[in-house]
Structures are given as structure tokens and as C-alpha cells.
Structure 1
Amino acid sequence: MTIDSSIFKAYDIRGIYPGSINEDIAYAIGQGYADFAKPEGEVMIGMDIRLHSKALKDSVIKGLTDAGIDVVDVGFMSTDMLYFGVGNYKFGGGLQSTASHNPPEWHGLKMVEKGPTPMTLEHGIGQVRDFVLSGKTVNADKKGSVRKMDIWEDYCKHILSWIDVTKIKPMKVVLNPNFGLGGKIFEKIVEMGKLPLELIKLNFEPDGNFPKGRPDPFIPENRVEFSELVKTSGADLGITWDADSDRVFFCADGGLFVEPYFLNTILIKQMLKKHPNEKIVYDPRYTWALLDAIKENGGTPTISRVGHSYIKEILKGQNALFGAESSGHTYYRDYWYSDCGMIPPMQVLEYLSETGEKLSNIMAPVLSKYFISGEINSDVSDKEGKMNEIAQKYSDAEVSRLDGVAVEYPDYRFCVRPSNTESLLRLTLEAKSKELMEQKRDEVLAIIRS
């Protein structure tokens, strides 16, 4: 069996089926998980709607049970259900057969230990990789058992517990799950909570072929159809998820797509209103609007490097209330220090119901105060050298090397970070006017690409 070690990535395992990931490799990964995690109690496993996720899941189960591990097979689930299941039922660990928002030929696995504690390349994924490459096997005298379980109802109840359902006012909402499970899950939440929402469905039925391309709302061209439907239908709100439903994005009435950076100011406000004087975790990509929201609502800002393992570590280590990323991930202390794609829509619906305002009006002040570049990637062979050059060039500014290089002046700031897995530098820049943002964006890009 030939193994492509590059499938073992910083936070998960991803490869193209059947070349770099297939049933044999999935079996070996199940064995490697058992060898590394040595779980006490049952291990939960589920899958997304990709065409071969079930075959890979079944092979992982065989690898686990051959190693003597008892398995709970929960079938279809979103990635944030992995954290819910392992945390809520106190399982010994968990795996999800998913390749997140990648194109349909990609398949993979996310893995957590009990807690849930995320497995990363440094802790867990690297050790599983080494086990798989070694060709070792684990064969227990007593094989593990498999039982099936449906966790959707308990999950939906938990999501509804985050809000006062009686406060939700009638609204028209466009849902775009990008052919993943997010729409079906949200629909069940609405039914169980008897929420007075009229749902308008786009790309709604789960389909592992992802017929409209890469199922990722972070890509601007994937937002056009969604925003247009919010506008033409006269909807109050649009909600869209990536294929495994752990990242969520919003469109305001009138078709205005709201970048997660700006939307997170509402979530911060909602969290601090219910839990005052708590710590909020943010990362250095964009900061000004978040710092305003945290301070105005009596919170304490706590910075973290970009990446879910770093954010979860700080969330847990400092017992912080909430963490927000501009990539659409949102993290909650009371969601087992994990990210969730369904709590934010509940909080936005609650906020709109409480204020009686349109989302477009609520977002207008912050959208007219800060202007952002979006994340711009550049291929750079010497990433460290280029970041040092930038730090030197802007040495009269406030410079941080926490994560790449972050440069701050009174009227603009930017962050240049290296990709974990590719020879890319990623630029994010914000400024206090659109003209300055565009000017400085082009200036910094010219340095990166020179």
C-alpha cells in the first residue's frame, strides 16, 4: 500500500479518493487512532454527504473494532456535531469522515480525543501518520462492538437552548447549505423550536457531487446567487454554510453579504450581554471592529494566533467566553470550547427579534467605519525572509510577530501570515477609508510579490 504522507495536514486528514485516500488507508487510520488515543470508552464516528464518506467511515470502524475499540456510529452529521457528540455523551473520542469545503473528489477525516480535544499534526495526526507509514497493525483478542445512534434531536435541543425561542419574531430566511447537511439540520431546529420562520431554500438537498463547484461561501463568486436570492425574495436574512456546516456566513436584507469579521460584532454583543465582563478571543487578521465591540460591551480582548487549535487552547487555558475568526468559525466555551455553525444563526435571529431592526441598518455603522481587503494569497518561496522585509520596511509602526507579521498605524493596519501547508503568504488589511485601504493594499502586495 502506497501512502502519500501529505494527506496528514495541520488539523485533519484530506486527500483525493481513491488515489491518496481510500478504504485501506482509512482502515489503517482507524488502527492508528486506536494506537495513539488509547480511548477509554466508546468512540463516536459520523460522516458528511460526500460520495465515498460512508465507505471510508466503515473502514475506519473496522480498523477501530479490530483494535478492540467499541464504536458508536451516528451516521450523517455536521462537523460541529462531532464536538457536541463527544462532549455531550462523554465518549472516549470521535472521528468525522469529511473533507470540509473541498471539491467533491476530496475526502478525509477529522479526529478528536475525549473532551473533545482536537488532534493536530503536532499532537495526534503526526503520530497516526507515522503509525500508518510503519505498516503496523493492532489486533485485539476481543474485537470491539458497533452500535448505531441518532444524535440529531439532542443536538437540535442543545442549539435551541442558547436562545429564548419565544422571542423569535416572524422572518423570511434564505438558506444555502451548498448541498451539505446544514439546511436539513437548520430545518429540524426550526421545526423543534416552532420558530416562526419562512424558509427559502437554495442548493438545499444534500448532494456529494456538489454540482455548483467547491462548497465554500468564503469564495466571493459563491456568494452571488445567494445574495441575489435574498434581494429578489425580499428576505430578512440569508444564512449559508460550507459543506460540513461548521462555518457560517450571513447576508443582510437587500442582498448585502456581511463578512464574518463585521457580523462577529453582533455575536460579541449578544455573548457579553448574557455573560458580562468575560474574555473574548480574536486573531490578528482584522481587529479594530472586534476590539470596539469587546470594549464597548465590557469584555476583555485576548489575542490568539490564527487556527482552531490555537484558539481552542486559549479559550480553554484562559476560560474565555467566546472566540471569533474572520473565516466564519465561531467558538464557544459552553460548546465544549469548540466551534459551531448553528449557534450564530440562533443568536442573529434573537438579536434581530429583540431590536426590531434590519440587519443592513445594524451593520451600516461598522461597515462605514472600517474597510477591509479580503484575504489575498501570494505565492512566495521565502516566506520568512519576505515577512522580515515587511517588518523592517514598516518598523516605525506598531509591529507584532505573534502570527506572521502584523503592522499597525493609526489609520490602517495589516497582517501577513504564512500558510501552514503551501508556499503562500496571506494578506489581510483594514483602513479607515476605502481609498486608503486600496492604496495600502496595493502597496503591501507589491512588496510581497516583488
Structure 2
Amino acid sequence: MKRIYSDFAYGCGPRDGCWWDNTCDLPKFPSLEIDISCDVAIVGGGFTGLSAALHLAQAGVDVVVLEAHHIGWGASGRNGGFCCLGGARMDDAGLDKRFGRDGRLQYRKAERDAITLVERIAESHGIDIDRHSKGETELAHRPKDMDDLRRAADAVAENHGVEAEIIAKKDLPDHGLAGPFHGALTTPIGFGLNPRKYIAGLARAARDAGARIYEKAQVQSLNKAQHWILDTGRKVTADQVVIATNGYSSDDLPAWLAGRYMPSQSNVIVTRPLTPQEQEDAGWTSDQACYDTRNLLHYFRKMPDGRFLFGMRGGLTSNPGAEARARQRARQDFETMFPAWRHVETAHSWSGMVCIARDMVPFVGAVPDQTGLFVSMCYHGNGVAMGTYAGKQIAGLIAGHGDVPVAMAQPLSKFPLGQFRRAVMPAAYAGFMLADL
């Protein structure tokens, strides 16, 4: 396999200490012991792969999911649990320029539909996801960012048909959002959840619908003869294949992917439960899902059990030392932002990889010139909702009734420098840091 980080990034080290692993058991699935055949083989047992499996199985398709570790092992089982608008890093002006106003509104509708889909799956399958937060709140880390948030409120009204709430700096404490912020914008769409409980329920739903799910079934090669042949140590023969590996993809599965995605690390820490007095001391009593206005943003929320989750972009290299330094930076930023909690231990910390496209929009579609091969990936750190939605969309394409938004249907462009594309990241991060000052 041709991956652009060291082997450490794809092992157990980065996810060691993940709080979500303590919150529920995952359903167990067998390893692959014999050669099998199916209509559709899905590579990856995360939000995208399991959503695609669920919707295909419900349509009567014989579908197999092949997961290298256990379901939700990648970003789907170790993210911040924000089910929110997003999926692209392109602003409205960029979407208008590339796809026109209609294309932009179509994509923004997809963002809302993605959240609704997660709600519907959780409700219809009885999945307790520890839901909380009435939408999400963006906090201004500089006074001048309030002008951007006011413009963003107008955009929310046009794109999503709802009224966003501007909160002045002086009113933040009344909302339980005290801190080094200069105001905020609350958009009443989305919520926080426990991603492990969601992925566990999604896997059960896919299994119960008829999908066959195999764990410890890492695909080593993918070749086309009369049918697609996937080698996991056993042979899987499929008419069609979906690659749903996102930030944990390989440049040779398929070869077309080489240079067309950029994994980027994100770190999360979780505190012990905060007492009511500790919450009052910090002036943070809200259960809103929040993030700040930085390009290299922080995201954070108080969870239903009183624990506080705090996340940020991670390091640019992956090894034990870099992982330790990234976790330390997350802790330092947490203490800077919430000094009243400097004494509060964060026993749980981990990292995972989000996935970025050069064009800054997700891709859901067929691989050019390779009949029966599909890819869905690049959610830019917002994969809870958008990954679920993309899985449904890819299932629709395979079943012949797909209607993928035009912004998501454009094949991925290549990054410069090919397998050495990570070399552009230090300069990009430095630029973002300067812009955040």
C-alpha cells in the first residue's frame, strides 16, 4: 500500500486514549475466511461505507463491507462528534464562481439534507446517540471577525432559510459562553453526538438490512478482469466497488487516487466530568457545539455527562514524538482558552485524519474510465453528516437513481508534487497561522 504518512499514522498509537472507546461496545463481525462474491464490495467500514451498505441492502443489493480493522476504526470512530453543516472548504463566492448560484444552493441544501439523514437513521433504527446542542455556535477570536459573522448570518438566511443569531460579546456570559471571545454566531442547524454510538447503530442497521460486514479484512490489491477482484488474503469478486476510506486511503487503491487527496491530522482531548461549580467558575455552562473563527480552528463542546471535548488541527508528521507534542499543544491551547480549568485533567487524548481535496469540495462519483468503480471522500473534517449523506448518494448512483449535487460530482484534481504533496502543508499551515493573528 502506498500511503503518504509513516506506518505509525495507520496503527493503534494515534487512537490510543480515545474516550469514545469507553462509551459503548461495538457489534462484532467476522473476519473473511473464504473466497466470496457479491454485487457490490465496499472498502471501508466508516460512516460512508456503512451508509452506502445500508441503503444498498435496503434496495435488495448483495453488498459486502471490507474493513481493515474494526468498524469505525478510522476518523468515523474518533472524531469530535459534530453533526453539522459543512463538508466543503469553499465559500459561497467560490461555489458561485465554479457552479453558479443554483449549484451553490444545491450544495447547501445537501448539507442540510445530510444532517436530516443522520437524524432519520438514528430515529428509525432506535440509535441512542447522546444528542445535544441546538445547532452550532461560531465564536469570534478577534474583534474584526464579528463583521465576517454578520455577513455569515446573511448567508445562512439565503442558503438555509433560517435566521442565525448574532451574540454580542457582552451577552456571551448570559448564554453560558464566557471566554476570550468577541461575540458569536449561532446557526440553528445540527447537533452534537457520540460518534461511536452512531457508528455502532449504523453497522447494526446495515447488517440487519442484509449487508455482510467483515473486519480485519484489509484490501491489499484491486484489479479488474471480467469482474473486480479484491485481495484481502481471500478473494472477493464483485461487479462494482466503492472506495470509502477517506483520510486512510492508499495511493494505489485504486491507482487513480494517487495525489488526489490530502490527509490532515486532528487532535482531540476530553476532560473528566466537570462539576457544576467548575462550569460556573469558567462561565461555560452551555452544551452548544462550538468552534472559533480561526483557519486552524479549535472545536469544543460540553457533553451530556459534563465532560468537555476540545479539538484542533494536529501535527504535520506522524510518529510517537510528534503525537506527544500535538497532544501537548492541544492541552496548552485548552488551558489558554479556559484558564479556570487548568487543574482539570484530560486523561483522554487521541488523533485521527480528516481528508482534504485540492478543489475543497467532497467527491461522490465514478472513477473516470473504470467501469463499476466508485469513490466517495474528502469531507474536510465534517464527515459525520456529509459522510453519511455521501454513502447514500453513492448507493443511489449504483442503483441507478442517484442525483449527486453538481459541486460533489466533479472528479478529484491532483495536488502538486504527487506522493510528496505533504511538503506543501508546512507553508499552508504557516499562512493560516499568520492569517489567524
Q: Sort the TM-score into its range (normalised by shorter chain).
A: under 0.3
TM-score using structure 2 length:
0.26
Larger radius of gyration between Structure 1 and Structure 2: 1
Higher relative contact order (CA 8 A, sep 6+): 2
TM-score using structure 1 length:
0.26
